[in-house]
Amino acid sequence: MTTSTKPASTRISAARGSELRCRGWRQESLLRLLENNLENAERQEDLVVYASFAKAARDWDSYHKIVHALKNLQESQTLIIQSGKPIGIFNTHKMAPLVLMANGNIVGRWATPENFYELQDKGLTIWGGLTAADWQYIGSQGVIQGTYEILAQVAREHFKGSLKGKFVLTAGMGGMGGAQPLAGKLAGAVILVVEVDRARIEKRVAAGYCELIADDLDHALALVEEAQKKGIARSISVVGNAAEIYPELLKRGVIPDVVTDQTSAHDTLYGYVPVGLTIAETEAMRKSNPTEVRKRALESIAVEVQAMLEFKKKGSVVFDNGNNIRSQAAECGVTNAFDIDIFTARYLRPLFCKGIGPFRWIALTGEPNDIQYIDQLVLEHFPENELAANWIKLAGEHIKFEALPARICWMGHGERTKLALLVNDAVRDKKLSGPIAFTRDHLDGAAMTHPRIGTEGMLDGSDAISDWPLLNALLNTASAADLVAIHSGGGGYAGYMTSAGATITADGTDEAAQRLSTALTADTGLGVLRFADANYSEAQEAAKEHKLGL
């Protein structure tokens, strides 16, 4: 992987306050979001934000050029970025996006992991993850509500609405997986997370995302049992390899109520650590014998998935949490890996059908009170939205801010626009300390085609049709978002995914109000229509209610 052509001399963090380095707040907002991605990054020195190798820019040279371009970018200009490298600036018009980007896209037949790694090593592409290359990552909080809502739905469907006293087993505490212990505790469960890297665990404990580190598996199970007996929610972590611990639990006859995994199984070279190798040995072997690392990682994943299937047989609720672990195991001969449900189709799709998805906002001056003010706006103006109200209360109480203060809150079609316009008014009326950026995860209504995650098992069989995210990005551009990105998979994800991302800044101006109104309404509207078109009755009703579609 090419990383540095020009290392940054100091650690990068997002600028705070109201002093502008760019020609306007729209440009300053995007620059702060880029810096914010790096402030939150798992490996800033390599520009890697999360998921093992999802990068914020191609290399350091590109990073510095992007910063320079954003500082000088004028209204009515658009900066073009190809896989993390700035290519040129074009004169466009006042309502055009400031930044358009395409990251990690390779045409169908060539979209193999081998080709991707080769192109990456030649410095021609990067994998942008979903929110890494387009500067939309907000730390572990970005996925925490999604994980919480999945567990809440699991509770409703399988445990009469409550996870009290229930044992959730999972693995991985990286950039995204690090949200699991807190999400599990907020959902009322006793959650045990297996993580091979002690430093990752310590990072999450320091950030307030996990309560306890067990000394070993025996200690972890004692802590689980104690919390279950007392009926208290508790988050516990243990250092270990999931491909060893999961089978060991089976051997001991310990059957958790819920089992999943969020290790970086999507990638067998840079991500999943094979059994029998330490992190340092894996690192060294990546250089000396990458084929052997991939083979061993795949074999370990197969062992872990076989254990997950066995847990399912013995009564656990088991689901894939979006890391492609089933596809990897299937590649290694676990032919029934897809007996495990994917979380999206099973638990979240009904929400997507109504345009409800992972909306988020970032306080660009760094002022935490701005987020608290917006929390109150949500509680006051959306009292009928129980999901949002419940989450805002939990988040306000339990979630510590990382880097720029931000909030995720799953909101639906129309609601996102209404909130953003209220916020734009508050910026204009100086009730907030400065502008607010609005964005969302790519795992949203029309924004993602991933036949193994977002669009598995579509009613009409349209799982692999990637027209939707492409149309989403085109529509975001036509409806005047400030930044629009198209991403595709690389590495373990090669050929699996295409997605779209958009960011719009509420700077208190009338133009911002227009942008927020058109872009956010179009974004969720297309999401509802994507599912209505696939014959989901909830989406067809939502389309009728909101007068969407023909």
| Beta carbon nearer to ligand NAD, 263 or 518 | 263
Interface pick for ligand NAD out of 28, 35, 195, 415 (rule CB under 6 A): 195
The residues, any chain, with a CB within 8 Å of residue 396's CB and separated by 6 or more, are: 372, 375
Interface pick for ligand NAD out of 42, 402, 415, 533 (rule CB under 6 A): 42
Q: Does 455 bind ligand NAD (CB under 6 A)?
A: no
Q: Does 241 bind ligand NAD (CB under 6 A)?
A: yes
| Beta carbon nearer to ligand NAD, 300 or 518 | 300
Q: Which stretch binds ligand NAD (CB under 6 A): 3-11, 173-181, 359-367, 473-481?
A: 173-181
Pair of tokens at residue 251: 């051997």
| Beta carbon nearer to ligand NAD, 42 or 415 | 42
Kindly report the number of other CB atoms within 10 A of residue 431's CB atom. Answer: 13
Q: Which residue is nearest to ligand NAD (CB)?
A: 174
Interface pick for ligand NAD out of 171, 236, 356, 539 (rule CB under 6 A): 171
Q: In this structure, which amino acid lies at residue 317? A: V
Q: Which stretch binds ligand NAD (CB under 6 A): 193-201, 394-402, 456-464, 507-515?
A: 193-201
> Quick check: helix, strand or coil at residue 98?
coil
**Tokens 């872009």 appear where?**
519
CB of 169 to ligand NAD, least distance (A): 12
CB of 135 to ligand NAD, least distance (A): 16
Q: Does 22 bind ligand NAD (CB under 6 A)?
A: no
Interface pick for ligand NAD out of 104, 113, 172, 435 (rule CB under 6 A): 172
Interface pick for ligand NAD out of 57, 102, 151, 196 (rule CB under 6 A): 196
| Beta carbon nearer to ligand NAD, 50 or 159 | 50
| Beta carbon nearer to ligand NAD, 195 or 341 | 195
Q: Which of 439, 472, 469, 440 is nearest to 454 (CA)?
A: 469
Interface pick for ligand NAD out of 33, 67, 79, 143 (rule CB under 6 A): 143
Catalytic residue among 22, 210, 332, 409: 409
Interface pick for ligand NAD out of 260, 262, 498, 524 (rule CB under 6 A): 262
Q: In this structure, which amino acid lies at residue 215? A: D
Q: Which parts of 414-443 interact with ligand NAD (CB under 6 A)?
A: 443
> Known catalytic residue: 409?
yes
| Beta carbon nearer to ligand NAD, 33 or 303 | 303
- What does 275-305 look like in DSSP terms, one character per residue? TT--HHHHHHHHHH-HHHHHHHHHHHHHHHH
Interface pick for ligand NAD out of 97, 174, 435, 527 (rule CB under 6 A): 174
Q: Does 268 bind ligand NAD (CB under 6 A)?
A: no
Q: Does 355 bind ligand NAD (CB under 6 A)?
A: no
Reported residue count of the chain is 550
CB of 22 to ligand NAD, least distance (A): 29
Pair of tokens at residue 499: 């997605």
> Quick check: helix, strand or coil at residue 95?
coil
Q: Does 319 bind ligand NAD (CB under 6 A)?
A: no
CB of 19 to ligand NAD, least distance (A): 32
What is the C-alpha separation between 149 and 151, in angstroms, rounded? Answer: 5
Q: Return the bridge partners of 102, or none.
A: 82, 486
What is the C-alpha separation between 380 and 395, in angstroms, rounded? Answer: 16
Pair of tokens at residue 453: 């995650």
CB of 351 to ligand NAD, least distance (A): 13
Using CB under 6 A, count the residues that bind ligand NAD. 34
Q: Return the bridge partners of 51, or none.
A: none
What is the C-alpha separation between 309 and 304, in angstroms, rounded? Answer: 9
From first CA to last CA, the distance across the chain in angstroms is 47
The residues, any chain, with a CB within 8 Å of residue 9's CB and separated by 6 or more, are: none
Alpha carbon of 354 to those of 344, 467, 541: distances in Å? 14, 20, 9
CB of 174 to ligand NAD, least distance (A): 2
- Count the alpha carbons within 13 Å of 363 in the hemisphere toward its beta carbon: 24
Q: Does 51 bind ligand NAD (CB under 6 A)?
A: yes
Q: Are 161 and 187 in contact (CB under 8 A)?
A: no
**Tokens 């510590």 appear where?**
400
What is the C-alpha separation between 50 and 48, in angstroms, rounded? Answer: 6
| Beta carbon nearer to ligand NAD, 132 or 364 | 132
What is the C-alpha separation between 518 and 282, in angstroms, rounded? Answer: 48
Q: Does 491 bind ligand NAD (CB under 6 A)?
A: no
Q: What backbone torsions phi and psi does residue 191 show, to the nearest 5 degrees?
A: -115, 130
Q: Does 41 bind ligand NAD (CB under 6 A)?
A: no
Interface pick for ligand NAD out of 52, 260, 385, 540 (rule CB under 6 A): 52
Q: Does 456 bind ligand NAD (CB under 6 A)?
A: no
| Beta carbon nearer to ligand NAD, 265 or 409 | 265
Interface pick for ligand NAD out of 98, 190, 243, 305 (rule CB under 6 A): 243
> Quick check: helix, strand or coil at residue 14?
coil
| Beta carbon nearer to ligand NAD, 321 or 498 | 321
**Tokens 């052509």 appear where?**
5
Distance of CA 337 to the CA centre of its chain: 23
What is the C-alpha separation between 79 and 86, in angstroms, rounded? Answer: 7
Q: Does 264 bind ligand NAD (CB under 6 A)?
A: yes
| Beta carbon nearer to ligand NAD, 12 or 242 | 242
What is the C-alpha separation between 168 and 148, in angstroms, rounded? Answer: 12
**Residues at the site binding ligand NAD, with contacts judged by CB under 6 A:** 42, 50-52, 143, 146, 171-177, 194-197, 200, 241-243, 262-266, 271-273, 300, 321-323, 443
- Residues carrying an active site annotation: 409
